[in-house]
Structure 1
Amino acid sequence: MSIIRIPSPLRPYTDNLKEVEVNASNVGEALVALTERYPRLKPHLYDENGSLRAYVNIFLQQEDVRNLRGQATPLTGDDRLMIIPSIAGGRS
């Protein structure tokens, strides 16, 4: 099983869990399994077209999956995924 690390702002949607174990063969399946288990999380990860929101970054072992194979990036079973929402704001 792979582990998905949940950031603090999204924990209210996962019963305040810091980590969730999922059984999936790739990153996309892992995210689907996560949002099926915690449906209130889905609109925070996906837009109305079902695409991963632009400000949601997914990392696999410290590597942004966009630099790998995106959501098709394979998982080996003991991988650790991190969801990292981008933070914006402030003055320029």
Structure 2
Amino acid sequence: MVDVALWSGLRPLVGGQDSIAVEGRTVGQILDSIRRNYPALAPTLDAGVSVVVDGRVIASSLTEPVGENSEVVLMMRLKGG
């Protein structure tokens, strides 16, 4: 299990929880697990989110490995400019 911290704007979609525990060893598996276990987050995931693993924003690699002790944060999509 991996604990995923949620950006404040996502918390209302999961009953106010600040983190959720999901299965997965890669960013893609974690996102799939979130979609399955927390369907209210699915539209937000589909619109695009930013995933931070151990302080690094994972731009597009769904195969990025995630360890059980990794710090994972799910955020609203960050846009550069």
- Indicate the TM-score class for this superposition, using the shorter chain for normalisation: 0.7 to 0.9
Runs of 4+ in 1 over 2 A off after TM superposition: none
5+ long unaligned stretches in structure 1: 48-52
Q: Do the aligned residues in 2 keep the contact of 1:7 with 1:18 (CA within 8 Å)?
A: yes
Deviation at 1:86, TM superposition (A): 4.0
5+ long unaligned stretches in structure 2: none
Distance 2:35 2:46 in 1: 10
Q: TM (normalized to structure 2)?
A: 0.83
Indicate which of 59, 77, 84 corresponds to 2:75.
Answer: 84
Identical-pair percentage:
20
Q: Which amino acid aligns with 1:2?
A: V
Q: Which amino acid aligns with 2:19?
A: E
Q: TM (normalized to structure 1)?
A: 0.75
How many equivalent pairs are there?
79
